[in-house]
Amino acid sequence: MPLTFINWLLAFSPVLTVLILMLVFNWGGSKAGAAAWFVAVIVAALRFGAGPELIAYAQVKSILLTLDVLLIIWSALLLFHVADEAGAVDVIGERLPALTANRMMQSLLLGWVFVSFLQGVGGFGVPIAVVAPLLVGLGFGPMQAVIMASIGHGWAVPFGSLATSYVALIGTSGLPGETFAAQTALLLSVTIFFSGAIVAYVGAGWRAMLHGLPAIAILSLVMSVVQYFLATAGLFSLGATGASLVGMLAGIALTRIPVYHNADADAKPLPGISPQANPAADPPGAVEKRRSLVVSLSAYGVLIVLAFGINLIPALDAFFNQVSLTLSFPEMVTAAGWVTPAEQGRSLSLFGHPGSILTYSALTAFVIYTRAGYYRPGAARRILNKVARGAVSSSLGIAAMVGMATIMGHAGMVNMMARGISEGVGDALYPAIAPVIGALGAFMTGSATNSNVVFGALQRQTADLLGISATLIVSAQATGAAMGSVLAPAKLIVGCTTVGLTGDEGIVIGRMLVLGLILVAIVSLMVWLIASL
Amino acid sequence: MSLKKLEGTGTPKWRARVKFPVQAGALIITVAGSFMLYWALETGHDLLAAIVFGTVALSFALTIWIS
């Protein structure tokens, strides 16, 4: 099919539909995704020569990819609410900053390390919603709190939420996760350092941030190394959780040093985002003291033990991965001649899937918290209700967008988009643009997963056409999407609501954009430099 | 000023009440329907495949309407 502007625009139209509906008309992901699915079906059939059988098979294939992601989302939310309903999340959040009177270290422990831990185990806006009120309770301003909690957890997005967005990118890019884990972890290590520095600056000011640089460097190194080893060992779902857990231990050790333990004279509130009274915050100490930190952490301890055990012990790995669900698909050809070879669809291991491991952990944690007497009557019903209501809408959005992306791929529309971009931008500039595309997608759709679903195949095919390393470009997509997702209005609105800033979201987004774009620019520069080597 | 703004909310109560069940139903239809679609395609039941695909499309249309 010839590359013309009309063909390129039509190929781009489903993505454009998502972006316009979400950005201009403020539609949610599920609504915009469903509309874009219809656009993809119509354009694929009428312009790109996709027959009914091809579209139907593509829809089936997309459901396997969707289930791969949804199993993680539902079970990650289950684990989070099992812990949250028991009061465990509040206990962890309150005990950490009590370790130091130093504002800069408090900023780092809560607004950088703990918020990333929550991204590792939960995600979906939960980190900002939980940490921003905790920061306000410690005397930080509501705007400071939202900005710190948002910027602080961006690095934990790709291997956080039990690697939901990363798994989605594996599916849409067609690259095995192991092939681009190292480059993704390396790019993220740079953002770990700079996001820590930004959090310290926002929380305590320039001078305190400069004094805190050694601590930021040490914690960045520790978290980067742990995340790198976990990700390259194939433990994608534990990358951010493991890194931030070790980061918490290292941070606690650093608070034993007097300069990071005592109150810092340098700490100054920033003009424009200074602390102020916040009616939405609970005072420190509001969490019941009788709950043990060790028992509170047990939900995540169980997860780590099970995930490491099942992934690293061959006998357990073989035992849990005996039953897999997969489907075979025939070769498909459009009337325009675009061929999708016959292949096996995505294979889902029913008992060894990260979602299954999360479910085992959630059930075990529920028993532990129940025996410890942490639940009020009716907890199980409340937990299941929160999980279902929290996950249904985003699940529909993912199903629709994965369906759209798969149909586009099978109709040759993604290839058409990639050809247009490769001829328009060129191989010299594209590495710098790739993270911006990822960030833009996440900013507009409110989710790194959505961005990876929409742009994963496009980035891969553009890289192939330009002769650039596909693993580097897909890593750039993962990292850019992570940086863009923390700037997304959809997430910031959640944070603003929890600290009493409802109605001031525009001001917060304006201040966030400046800081967030620094991170996106750093990633772009890094990718461009690596590609130029 | 529009009537909706004067009333203070643009979402009727009944719509808010049925939103979750309709979204949950649409999700179940999409997932289960896709597997049924595969079976219909593989066994050559073209009419059934067309009906199931139409039902999946309807679930997406419901999603747009209710969300």
Residue A396 CA to residue A44 CA, distance in Å, equals 21
Question: Dihedrals φ, ψ of A203, to 5°?
Answer: -80, -35
Query: What is the maximum alpha-carbon separation in chain B?
Result: 57
Judged by a CB distance cut-off of 8 A, whether residue B41 touches chain A is yes
Residue A63 CA to residue A169 CA, distance in Å, equals 15
Tokens of A166: 């990363």
Torsion, Cα A440 A443 A447 A450, to 10 degrees, reads -30
Bridge partners, residue A324, by sequence? A349
Question: Is B27 in contact with A392 (Cβ distance < 8 A)?
Answer: yes
Judged by a CB distance cut-off of 8 A, whether residue B29 touches chain A is no
Q: Answer whether A141's CB lies under 8 Å from A276's CB.
A: yes
| Residue A291 region by backbone torsions, left for phi larger than 0, else alpha for psi between -120 and 50, else beta | beta
* Residue B37 included in any domain: yes
Contacts of B35 in chain A (CB under 8 A): 60, 63
Q: How high is the pLDDT of residue A269? A: 55
Residue A498 CA to residue A495 CA, distance in Å, equals 5
Question: Is B31 in contact with A67 (Cβ distance < 8 A)?
Answer: yes
Judged by a CB distance cut-off of 8 A, whether residue B63 touches chain A is yes
User: Mutate which of A17, A21, A30, A62 to disrupt the B interface (most B C-beta within 10 Å)?
Assistant: A30
Residue A419 CA to residue A208 CA, distance in Å, equals 49
Min distance A394 CA to chain B CA atoms (Å): 10
Give the residue on A whose Cα is nearest the Cα of B66.
A31
Chains A, B: CB contacts within 8 A come to 67
Tell me the residue type at A60: V
Residue A496 CA to residue A506 CA, distance in Å, equals 10
Rounded to the nearest 10 degrees, what angle do helices A379-411 and B13-42 cross at? 50
Give the residue on B whose Cα is nearest the Cα of A404.
B60
Find the CB nearest A56 among B26, B35, B53.
Answer: B53
Min distance A330 CA to chain B CA atoms (Å): 10
Distance of alpha carbon A361 from the chain centroid: 21
Q: How high is the pLDDT of residue A490? A: 63
Query: What's the length of chain A?
Result: 533
Min distance B15 CA to chain A CA atoms (Å): 15
User: Mutate which of B28, B38, B55 to disrupt the A interface (most A C-beta within 10 Å)?
Assistant: B38
Q: Answer whether A350's CB lies under 8 Å from A336's CB.
A: no
Residue A495 CA to residue A103 CA, distance in Å, equals 21
Tokens of A75: 């079970």
Min distance A276 CA to chain B CA atoms (Å): 30
Q: Please give the C-alpha separations between residue A428 and each of A457, A477, A529, in angstroms, as whole numbers.
A: 20, 17, 10
Q: Which residues 9-28 of chain B have a CB within 8 Å of chain A?
A: 20, 23-24, 26-27
**Sign of the Cα pseudo-torsion (A433, A434, A437, A442, in order):** negative
Q: How high is the pLDDT of residue A278? A: 42
Every domain of chain A and the residues it spans: 5-326+347-532
Give the residue on A whose Cα is nearest the Cα of B57.
A38
Q: A254 Cβ partners below 8 Å, 6+ apart?
A: A105, A215, A218, A219, A260
* Residue B17 included in any domain: yes
Contacts of A27 in chain B (CB under 8 A): 67
Give the residue from A296, A381, A372, A379 showing the smallest Cα distance to A83: A296
Query: What is the maximum alpha-carbon separation in chain A?
Result: 72
Q: Answer whether A427's CB lies under 8 Å from A434's CB.
A: no
Contacts of A52 in chain B (CB under 8 A): 50, 53
Residue A221 CA to residue A227 CA, distance in Å, equals 10
Bridge partners, residue B33, by sequence? none
pLDDT digits (tens, 9 = 90+) for B27-65: 999 999 999 999 999 999 999 999 999 999 999 999 999
Judged by a CB distance cut-off of 8 A, whether residue B39 touches chain A is no
Q: Please give the C-alpha separations between residue A495 and each of A30, A249, A443, B29, in angstroms, as whole numbers.
A: 21, 26, 15, 33
* pLDDT tens per residue across all 533 residues of chain A: 888 999 999 998 998 898 788 767 878 778 888 999 999 999 999 999 999 999 999 999 999 888 887 887 788 778 878 988 988 877 877 776 678 888 899 999 999 998 998 888 766 667 887 788 778 877 788 899 999 999 999 999 999 877 889 998 998 898 999 999 999 999 999 999 999 999 999 999 999 999 999 999 999 999 999 999 999 998 898 899 999 999 999 999 999 998 888 877 666 655 555 444 444 444 444 444 467 888 887 887 887 788 778 767 888 888 988 888 889 999 999 999 988 889 887 778 888 887 888 899 899 999 999 999 999 999 999 999 988 887 888 788 888 988 998 899 899 888 888 788 878 888 888 999 999 989 877 876 667 887 898 789 889 989 998 899 999 999 999 999 999 988 876 677 667 766 777 667 667 877 888 889 999 999 999 999 999 98
Find the CB nearest B56 among A31, A59, A327.
Answer: A59
Find the CB nearest A327 among B24, B38, B61.
Answer: B38
- Strand pairing report for A332-333 and A339-340: antiparallel
Give the residue from A455, A460, A433, A523 showing the smallest Cα distance to A486: A523
Give the residue on A whose Cα is nearest the Cα of B51.
A56
The secondary structure of A311-330 as a DSSP string is HH-HHHHHHHTS-EE--EE-
| Residue A512 region by backbone torsions, left for phi larger than 0, else alpha for psi between -120 and 50, else beta | alpha
Question: Is A34 in contact with B41 (Cβ distance < 8 A)?
Answer: no
Residue A280 CA to residue A442 CA, distance in Å, equals 29
* Residue B20 included in any domain: yes
ipTM for the predicted complex: 0.87
* Residue B22 included in any domain: yes
Q: Answer whether A485's CB lies under 8 Å from A121's CB.
A: no
The single residue listed with the structure tokens 């999700």 is B27
Question: Is A28 in contact with B50 (Cβ distance < 8 A)?
Answer: no
What's the N-to-C CA distance of chain A in angstroms? 35
Residue A50 CA to residue A332 CA, distance in Å, equals 9
3-state SS track over A162-208:
HHHHHHHHHHHHCCCHHHHHHHHHHHHHHHHHHHHHHHHHHHHCHHH
The single residue listed with the structure tokens 């469903």 is A34
Contacts of B30 in chain A (CB under 8 A): 63, 396, 399
Full residue range of the structural domain in which residue B53 is found? 12-66
Min distance B26 CA to chain A CA atoms (Å): 8
Q: A60 Cβ partners below 8 Å, 6+ apart?
A: A327, A329, A345, B34, B35, B37, B38, B41
Residue A218 CA to residue A247 CA, distance in Å, equals 9
Run of H or E residues at A56: helix A52-85
Number of folded domains that form chain B: 1
Min distance B34 CA to chain A CA atoms (Å): 5
